Structure 1
Amino acid sequence: MTDSIAVNMRNSPALITGMGAVTAIGQDITAISQSLKKGTSVFSFMTREGRCSDDLFIGAELPALTMPTQFDAYNLSTCSLSAKAALVALQQAWTDARLDTVEPEKIGLIVGGSNVQQRHLNNLRDKRKNAPYFIQPSYALNFMDSDICGICTELFGIRGSAFSLGGASASGQLAVIEAAKAVTSGALDVCVVVGALMDLSYWECHAFSSLGAMGSSRFSDAPTQACRPFDQQRDGFIYGEGCGVLVLERHQHALQRGAHLRGAIPGCAVVMDGNRNPDPSLAGEIAVIQQVLHNSAMTASDIDYINPHGSGSVLGDDTELQALAKTGLRSAPLNATKSLFGHALSAAGCLEIIATLIQMEQGFLHPSLNLDNPIQADFNWVTTTRHETNIKQALSLSYGFGGLNTAVCIIKP
C-alpha cells in the first residue's frame, strides 16, 4: 500500500516566473533551447579530478563555468562545483523574474538535493590524507546540506525561509512541489527552487555501476550512444552534470507585480512505495499519475505532452511505460530529456520541468537520441526528429530511490 501527499492548486495555481540552468549542452536558457531543438548531446568519458580512478565512466560534464561579475568580490575558492553552478543558474532566474523588486523577507529558497558535494569533499580529504590537521576549516561548512542554502541566501539577500530537501533523483521535482505549496498557502510570496548539481565522486560512480543502475561499458567504443532511455539496448542511466533554478510565485502576487508568466502548476502529487530499495513500483507510479490528474482537474486525454522520468534503467523504463499505459496516457507525445542532458540526479526533476517549459513556450518537442528501437513501439514517441506542436497541458514525472514518486502538471498561463 502506498502513502501519499496530494497537492491541489486548481483554484489558485502556483505561477512560474523565472528560470535558469546550466547543463553540459548549454549554460543559459537560450543555449539550452537551441540544443534541445537540434538534439545535441556531449557524452564522453568523464575526466574530473576525483571522479575517475582505475575505472572510466561515461557522462556529460560542464565546460568551465562563467561566474557573474557581481561575485568578483566574494571569495569563491572554498565553494564546490555544486555551489558555483547554483549561483550561475540562480542569477539567470533572478534576473528573468526581476526579483530585485521583491522584498527579501517575502522570498524563500528550497535546494533540492542532499549530499550533493561528494567529489569536492573527497578531493579535500585526499589532498590532506597525509596531513589531516591542515584540512580546510571550510570543510565544516561544505559537508552540510545547508552550505548551498547559505551561499545563495547570502549573495542574493534572501531573507525568507530556506532549507535543503533530499529525495534522491526526485529531489528537484519534490522541491518544486514544496515551493508550490509554500506560495499557494501564502507562506511566501516567492519561492526559489534550486535543483542542485550532484557532484559524483569515483565512489558514487563505482557504487552505482556495481548496483547495475549506471550504464555499463557496453558503449565504450561509442560513448555518444550510451545514453538511450526507453531503447531496447539501454543498460542503465548515464550521468550528466547540471543545475536548474525555477522561481515560483503566489498567483495574486505575480499578477499584481506584472511578472512575466512562464507557466502555471495546477496540481502535484507525491506517493511513497514504502520501499528502501531502488526498484520501481508499478502501483506507486500509477497512483501518483492518477492523483496528479485528479488534483489538476484533468483527464488523461487533456495531456498534450509527457516529460517522463526515462532514466535508461532496464526495469525502470519498462515499469514507467506500463504505468503510462494503465493510466490512459499511451497516446500522449513523449520524449526523453535525459538522452540529451544525461541523468542529473538531484537536479533532474527541476531541469526537466525547465525543458518542458521551453518546449511549451516555443512550440516544439525535442528529439530523443539513441531511441532506435523503443521497448514499446506503440507509444507516441518523438525519436530523431524535432516535432513542431502546440503544448497547452503537460505532465512531468520523477522517481527516486527509496520508493519516491512525484508528478507535476504544467499548463500555459
Structure 2
Amino acid sequence: MSRPNSAPRTRVVVTGMGALTPLGATVKETWNAVMRGESGITTLNEDWAADLPVKIAGVLPTDPADLIGRVAARRLDRSQQIAVAASREAWDDAGAPAVEPERLAAVIGSGVGGAATLLDQHDLLRTEGRSRVSPHAVPRLMPNGAAGAVSIMLGARAGAHAPTSACASGAESLVWGSLLIAQGMADVVVAGGTDACIAPISITAFDRIRALSRNDEPERASRPFDRDRDGFVMAEGAGVVVLEREDHARARGARIQAVLAGFGVTADATSPVNPNVDGQVRAINQALAQAELSPRDIEHVNTHATGTPLGDYVEAQAIARAVGTHPAITATKSYTGHLLGAAGAVEAILAILAMQQGIVPRIRNLIRADERIDLDLVQETHRVTSPQAALSSSFGFGGHNVILALTRQ
C-alpha cells in the first residue's frame, strides 16, 4: 500500500455516518446535544473511583448491549460493542448498499483495544482462578477485535484492518479506508474508531503525566484553548463512516454527504508524548496538496484540541503557520471529552455536519481565550456560516499526526 501523498486520484465520498458518544446513542442525538450546548461529562460515582485523583469522565448514556443485543454483546469487549452499534447506524444511514462481500472492507481503529477485558479477566484470574477466565477473552481483548466484529456483522471480505495510532486511530482508519478504495481493493469501506477504557489504571496513568483535568466541576472541566485549561477529560465512544468510490455511490443513487478530498499522515519522530509543530504543519500541507485546496479554501477546522496547556498551543501554532488565522475554529472535545481512538472519526463526522448544517459549534467553556493563540475561535455562540471545505485534525502519543480534508462536493 503506497503512502498517502502518492495515492491515486479516485474520489472517495462519505455516504453514511454513525456515532455513539457521551452525548447520545446516534449521530443525530450527538449533534443536537452540541447544538443545545450540552456537556457529556459526568461524575464517576462508582466505588472504584472513590480514591482516584480524577473522578470525572465522558460515559455513554446508553448501554451498547441494549443496541446490539445481549447475546451478541457477551462475546464482545465494550469497545467492540460500541463499534458494532455505530457501524450499524452508519450502514443503515448509507442505505445498506448492495455490494459484493469481496468488495467491502472494514477498518476500525482503537487506541487501547480491549483493555477493559484484559483488566477484568486478569482480576478474575487473580481472585477466582483460571476456570473463571472467559473463553471469549482473547477475541475480546485483541486490538483488531472491533474490526473483526464489524467485518463479521457485515460480511466484509475485502479486509478487516485495525490501525493503532493512539488518539489518531479513528482518523487514520478513514485514511486507510480511502486508500483501499483508491487502489482498487474495495468499493465500499466501513471505517472509524472506538475506545472504552474508563478504568482506575487508565485514569491514574494519564494523571501521572499530568494530562487530565482535575477540575471537579464535570461540565466545566473540558476547556480547549481557554487560558485556564488544565488537561483533557477521558471519555468513551465510537464514530464510523461508510466510505465509497464516488461512481459506485452515484450509480446506486446514494446520498453523498461529503468528499474525503485529501489527508496527511506524518510522524514527529521526536517525543512519545509531546507534540511537534513541524510534524503537524507537514500533515496539514500534505492534506491540502492532495485535496488540491489552498489554505484560503479552508473555512473551518475541527481541532484535536484536548485541553492540555501544551497541546492546544502547539496545534494553534501549526494551524496559523499552515492555513492562516481566518478559518472558524471549533473544538468539540469541549462537549464530548476525549474519545481517545474514536475521537478523530467522531470529529470528522461533526465537521461534515458543520458543513451540511451551515453551523460551526462554539467552543464550550471557552471563557478567557489563551492570549497567545491568534485564531478565529468560535467562542460565545454557534457560528452560522456555509463552509465548503474543512479540516479535521487528530494527533496521538507516539508522534502520530493525521489531517483529514473534507469538502461538501
Please indicate the TM-score interval, normalised by the length of the shorter structure: over 0.9
SS in 1 for 2:18: strand
SS in 2 for 1:165: coil
1:108–1:192 CA contact under 8 A, matched in 2: yes
Matched, 1:412 2:408: yes
Give the C-alpha shift of residue 68 in structure 1. 6.8
What is the rounded CA distance, in whole Å, between the counterparts of 1:99 and 1:5 in structure 2?
30
What letter corresponds to residue 408 of structure 1 in structure 2? L
The verdict on how the C-alpha distance between 1:52 and 1:300 changes in structure 2, with shifts beyond 3 A counting, is: farther
Alignment equivalent of 2:91, drawn from 91, 94, 99: 94
Matched, 1:119 2:116: yes
Structure 2 residue runs of 5 or longer lacking an equivalent are: none
The verdict on how the C-alpha distance between 1:41 and 1:73 changes in structure 2, with shifts beyond 3 A counting, is: closer
Give the C-alpha shift of residue 119 in structure 1. 2.3
> Deviation per CA, 1:46-65, whole angstroms, max 9, x where unpaired?
24686665444321100232
Alignment equivalent of 1:384, drawn from 357, 367, 380: 380
What letter corresponds to residue 39 of structure 1 in structure 2? G
Alignment equivalent of 2:12, drawn from 11, 14, 34: 14
Pairs within 5 Å for 1:233-272? 233-272=228-267
Alignment equivalent of 2:177, drawn from 176, 179, 201: 179
> Deviation per CA, 1:204-241, whole angstroms, max 9, x where unpaired?
110110011122x2x21x22111101111111111121
1:279 corresponding residue in structure 2: 274
Give the C-alpha shift of residue 116 in structure 1. 2.3
Alignment equivalent of 2:392, drawn from 391, 396, 401: 396
Give the C-alpha shift of residue 72 in structure 1. 4.2
Q: Identify which of structures 1 and 2 has the higher relative contact order when contacts are C-alpha pairs closer than 8 Å and 6+ apart.
A: 1
Structure 1 residue runs of 5 or longer lacking an equivalent are: none
What is the rounded CA distance, in whole Å, between the counterparts of 2:172 and 2:32 in structure 1?
27
Give the C-alpha shift of residue 124 in structure 1. 2.5
2:78–2:116 CA contact under 8 A, matched in 1: no
2:349 corresponding residue in structure 1: 354
What letter corresponds to residue 132 of structure 1 in structure 2? G
Alignment equivalent of 2:193, drawn from 179, 192, 195: 195
What is the rounded CA distance, in whole Å, between the counterparts of 2:49 and 2:243 in structure 1?
34
Give the C-alpha shift of residue 10 in structure 1. 8.5
Give the C-alpha shift of residue 329 in structure 1. 2.0
> Deviation per CA, 1:25-63, whole angstroms, max 9, x where unpaired?
111121112112112103222246866654443211002
Matched, 1:345 2:340: yes
What is the rounded CA distance, in whole Å, between the counterparts of 2:11 and 2:368 in structure 1?
39
2:38 corresponding residue in structure 1: 40
Matched, 1:85 2:121: no
1:8–1:267 CA contact under 8 A, matched in 2: no
Give the C-alpha shift of residue 334 in structure 1. 0.5
Give the C-alpha shift of residue 141 in structure 1. 1.9
2:139 corresponding residue in structure 1: 141
What is the rounded CA distance, in whole Å, between the counterparts of 1:50 and 1:90 in structure 2?
31
RMSD value over aligned CA atoms?
Answer: 2.1
The verdict on how the C-alpha distance between 1:245 and 1:267 changes in structure 2, with shifts beyond 3 A counting, is: same
Matched, 1:294 2:286: no
SS in 2 for 1:205: helix
What letter corresponds to residue 409 of structure 1 in structure 2? A
What is the rounded CA distance, in whole Å, between the counterparts of 1:227 and 1:100 in structure 2?
38
1:132 corresponding residue in structure 2: 129
1:9–1:266 CA contact under 8 A, matched in 2: no
Work out the percentage of aligned pairs sharing the same amino acid.
29
What is the rounded CA distance, in whole Å, between the counterparts of 1:163 and 1:287 in structure 2?
25
